[in-house]
């Protein structure tokens, strides 16, 4: 008599749930780790806080946010799509939230 394949299939699926994903670390993961480390070291404010400050003066949808270091200073580079369709790129001091540079495309 043939045994049903349900048990081996279920065990295989369970293995997929418990094993960590394999493969290379994505750049997004590394960026997140660097940002978290900067916030913990008090070199940067949390991105959510910075975005809240920016939204008060510049409404729109944040398309991209990156944490960069320039001359030893942590900067958030933001790309924002404004409600009227303009693309605005901001360079923001990550420690203070001050807008250092603004470019419109």
Edge-to-edge strand ranges of the sheet holding 99-104: 61-70, 73-81, 87-93, 99-104
- pLDDT for position 80: 95
Q: Is 33 left (phi over 0), alpha (psi -120 to 50) or beta?
A: alpha
- pLDDT for position 9: 40
Say how far apart CA 80 and CA 39 lie, in whole Å: 22
- pLDDT for position 20: 41
- pLDDT for position 27: 47
Are 105 and 86 in contact by the 8 Å Cβ rule? The answer is yes
Q: How many CB atoms lie within 10 A of CB 38?
A: 19
pLDDT digit string (tens) for the chain, length 105 residues: 444 544 444 344 334 344 344 444 344 567 677 778 877 877 888 989 999 999 998 899 999 999 998 988 999 999 999 999 999 999 999 999 999 999 998
């Amino acid at each position: 008599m043939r045994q049903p394949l349900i048990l081996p299939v279920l065990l295989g699926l369970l293995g997929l749930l418990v094993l960590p994903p394999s493969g290379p670390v994505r750049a997004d993961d590394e960026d997140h780790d660097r940002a978290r480390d900067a916030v913990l070291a008090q070199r940067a404010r949390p991105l959510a806080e910075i975005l809240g400050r920016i939204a008060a003066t510049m409404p729109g949808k944040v398309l991209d946010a990156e944490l960069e270091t320039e001359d030893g200073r942590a900067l958030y580079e933001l790309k924002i799509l404004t409600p009227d369709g303009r693309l605005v790129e901001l360079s923001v001091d990550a420690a203070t939230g001050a807008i250092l540079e603004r470019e419109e495309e």
